[in-house]
Chains A and B, each alone.
Chain A
Amino acid sequence: MKEAYWEDTMHSILKTSLATLVAAGVTASSAFADGHALSGELKIISDMSNPAPRAVMEGLVEDFGALHPELEIDLTIVDREAWKTQIRNALGANPPDVVNWYAANRMRPYVDAGLFADISDLWAEPEFEALASTKGAMTLDDKQWGVPYTYYQWGVYYRKDIFDQYGLSEPSNWEEEIANCQTLLDNGVKCYTIGTKFLWTAGGWFDYINSRTNGYDFHIALARGEVEWTDDRVRQTFANWRQLIDMGAFIDDHQNFSWQEALPFMLNGEAASYLMGNFAVAAMRDGGLTDDQLDFYQFPVINADVDYAEDAPTDTFHIASGAQNMDAAKEFLRFVTSAEVQTEINGGEALGQLPVNANASIDNDKFLEQGFEMLSSNANGGIMQFFDRDFSAEMASVGMEGLQEFMVFPDNLEDILARLEETRQRIYQ
């Protein structure tokens, strides 16, 4: 069944690259495969269920299997959304060796329940220094619980042709941002499209405005429940946000749309930009925008005293604490974090995202190049994992609901903040 699985669905792109990758892997593996051959069975459950990620995952397993012919690898791919609740059962009885999950606070329930294995020893190896940028996001209680395989930048994707038409340029500070927006509105174009039906898109706006207003450290302190929601600094964030809302910068009725349903506004030119993750680029290109029409800029400075902090959600691999084949699992983690493999799986034909390994190279894609440049040299404040991963689950769900309400009825702010503060006090008591 496993063999049939691979043969049927193996992606051609990765197949062609197999030979080179294996060659690279063999030479590199002398560094990390310390002599002994791996054997037995390695069970992996992956949530990379969309077509391109699925091919990547199957390619990874095939390549890893080629490096370790004695090892029998059992790969199960679970629907990405379903996995968010299924992981609990999967890690319980008879757990697999390796699973996919997310960084930061999202790991908390499994770390607390002892279901993820502590892999601090892996992170102590010299090869892992290349992953330092996400070490913080993989750390809870001073230990590391997983490894990153990809991440992607967030930022403002905009219609360059519309900007050119009205003589606008990429803003670098808040005043320019607002001036640009006013010009667009005067010409009957909305500044930003957004779909808040599923709430999280509003979380992205909050992450950016809050970290640009008060800095990364304040944002993370708020996420940890150390700051009151009724704090004046939080109010300042909402006041800045409200400037845009009062201008009518966002499309109307956004609470009815998912993020995909909000895309046509940008494709039609009714809205000029979209604060989004890099995954939106594929959808925009599919929607007919060419690279000449589409461009990207980093979210502008609001408070000149704080450094840039960026949202870059990281997707990860973890070892279950009940893993049967710990050696093979750790070897697989070394494999997916190596520079060669990360270069390969994040290429434009594969995941189309950014490799975490600093020695990896990125694909020839203007958005990936800009994103890599931004995250590696212009995000000195820190890397945020996104609202729903940095904040605890309950705070995130109540919080995002409040953010959506604020975007529709900004006058309800006092009520919303009081509600969030009540929740914070209850959760982080």
Chain B
Amino acid sequence: MSSADTNRGWYKRNEIAITPWLFLLPAMLFFAVYVIIPIGQSFWISFHQWDGLGDKTWVGTANYERLLGIGDQNVDRKFEVSFWNNLRWLVLYLLAIPAGLFIALFLNQTVFGIRLYKSLFFFPFVISQVVVGLVFSWFYLPNDGLFDVITGWFGIDVSGGVLGNPNTATYGIIAAGLWPQTAYCMILYLTGLNAVDPEQVEAARLDGAKGRKMLWYVILPQLKPATFIAFVVTIIGALRSFDLISVMTNGGPFGSTRVLSFYMFEESLSEFGFRMGYGAAIAVVLFFIMLGFIVYFLWSMYQDEKGAR
């Protein structure tokens, strides 16, 4: 037996242990080259002052001190504004989940042409964010825009227009973002509703459950996986909101609609940017915020799997 073992090649002997790693290797390689190493590089650059062309100058944590206002300087005001806007995005963007659920429940019926209605509701998710942004910026236009006309009937006039007023601009953009995001959540819930067990619904009905109670105690628990995914994509969507801001306000008026990702882009890659070190420092901060959510998601997925075992 032992002689037969030694006769076999090294690979054959270790096949069980090695093969999974071989299959993982390409993915790990690409993940390292395109994700892990760039993250490390961002950290490295964030400790420098660098214009992207010449030599890097080591400045230690100076970029972070300026960003967070450590020492005798004030917090970078643009950073402060961006951070709070990010929070607004996070909270308000979650409205897409109940809205998506509501539309999904509404559309989950068999009437003539339901497929058409479903695709119409899904439409905003299919078109480009840039188009969504353009359409909404015309909608919000002062004087001529539909929104201004409608609010005009009620005697409300947003001074400077929705996107021109620093108090309303961010909310205007979030509302535009909710339109496609709601469609996305809707499609997630529609697929989830297909998997709802009809027998459980039947049994609940026999027990006299209906309406809100049916939804809360019977349907929603079965939709938990869909809710989880909807939550994940919405949080991530809120944190990487960039294209809408770029198209609709370009960060303005006077920088009031910046979010961290947009500020990072402005500092490092825009026409007046190329302060790579400072941009990288913002990226690192954004990374840690995202990391918090990612760790939470991974942890709850892990818990779910443990429970399923």
On A, residues with C-beta under 8 Å from B are 84-85, 88, 92, 109-110, 112-113, 115, 197-199, 252-253, 255-256, 388, 393-394, 396-397, 401-402, 404-405, 408, 419, 422, 426
Contacts and interface: CB of A to CB of B under 8 A. Distances in A.
Contact of B161 (A110, A256, A393, A397): A256
Contacts of B143: 253
Contacts of B250: 197-198
A268 to B, nearest CB: 12
Contact of B252 (A112, A255, A419): A255
Given A394-B272, A396-B272, A401-B255, A113 B160 contact: no
Contact of A109 (B51, B255, B266, B270): B51
A311 B98 CA distance: 55
B78 to A, nearest CB: 9
B254 A402 contact: yes
A388 B272 CA distance: 9
B252 A197 contact: yes
A401 B53 contact: no
Nearest to A406: B254
Most A-side CB within 10 Å, residue of B141, B269, B272: B272
Contacts of A404: 252-254
Given A255-B254, A397-B272, A401-B255, 19 more contacts: A85-B270, A85-B271, A88-B274, A92-B53, A109-B53, A109-B274, A110-B53, A112-B53, A199-B252, A253-B160, A255-B160, A255-B253, A256-B142, A394-B275, A397-B273, A401-B252, A408-B164, A408-B254, A419-B77
B interface: dominant SS = loop
Contacts of A252: 142, 160
B163 interface: yes
Interface in B137-194: 141-143, 160-161, 163-164
Q: How large is the interface on B (under 10, 10 to 19, 20 to 34, 35 or more residues)?
A: 20 to 34
22 contacts: A112-B53, A112-B54, A113-B54, A115-B53, A198-B250, A199-B252, A255-B160, A255-B254, A256-B161, A256-B163, A256-B164, A388-B272, A393-B274, A394-B272, A394-B275, A396-B272, A397-B272, A397-B273, A404-B253, A405-B253, A408-B254, A419-B77
A419 B75 CA distance: 12
Contacts of A199: 252
Contacts of B221: none
A405 B275 contact: no
Nearest to A199: B252
Contacts of A84: 271
A397 B143 CA distance: 29
B38 interface: no
Nearest to A404: B254
A405 B160 CA distance: 12
Interface in B246-276: 249-250, 252-255, 266, 269-275
Contacts of B74: 422
B52 interface: yes
B84 to A, nearest CB: 17
A253 B161 contact: yes
Contacts of B249: 197
B272 A393 contact: yes
Nearest to B254: A405
Given A85-B271, A404-B253, A113 B142 contact: no
Contacts of A256: 141-142, 160-161, 163-164
Interface string B271-286: 1111100000000000
A263 to B, nearest CB: 15
Contacts of B273: 393, 397
A315 to B, nearest CB: 16
Most B-side CB within 10 Å, residue of A256, A396, A401, A426: A256
Contact of A113 (B51, B66, B163): B51
A338 to B, nearest CB: 32
A422 B52 CA distance: 24
Contact of A85 (B163, B252, B266, B269): B269
